[in-house]
Amino acid sequence: MNMASSELSAGTPLGRSLTVERVDTAPTAAPIRHVDELNPETFEAFYELVTADVPLQAGESGLEPGEIIVFTDYFRVEAR
């Protein structure tokens, strides 16, 4: 899977949902976490976003919009 990076926000507003988008590169200023740095619950949420392609509620994931997660590819977390 890919790495995902994001620009961490002060918090994602409740009621927002998150998706991930595969990206080719990570912006220089983007916060980056490797998948092995995620706690089990956050990893599970990330993996569900990648494999099921279904948005998750922002407060339930442990992920932040703009963040890049490094997995087999780069994935950018986005709020909708």
pLDDT tens figures, 10-67: 444 556 889 999 999 888 889 999 999 999 999 999 999 999 878 888 777 889 999 9
pLDDT of 42 reads: 93
> What secondary structure letter does DSSP report for 25?
S
Q: How far, in Å, are 2, 43, 70 from residue 37 at the CA level?
A: 14, 9, 10
Q: How far, in Å, are 2, 13, 54, 72, 76 from residue 25 at the CA level?
A: 10, 27, 23, 13, 10
Number of H helices, E strands in the chain: 1, 6
- Look at the chain and report how many structural domains it folds into: 1
Domain holding 28, by residue range, is: 3-79
Q: Provide the whole-model pTM.
A: 0.72
Whole-angstrom distance, CA of residue 25 vs CA of residue 41: 26
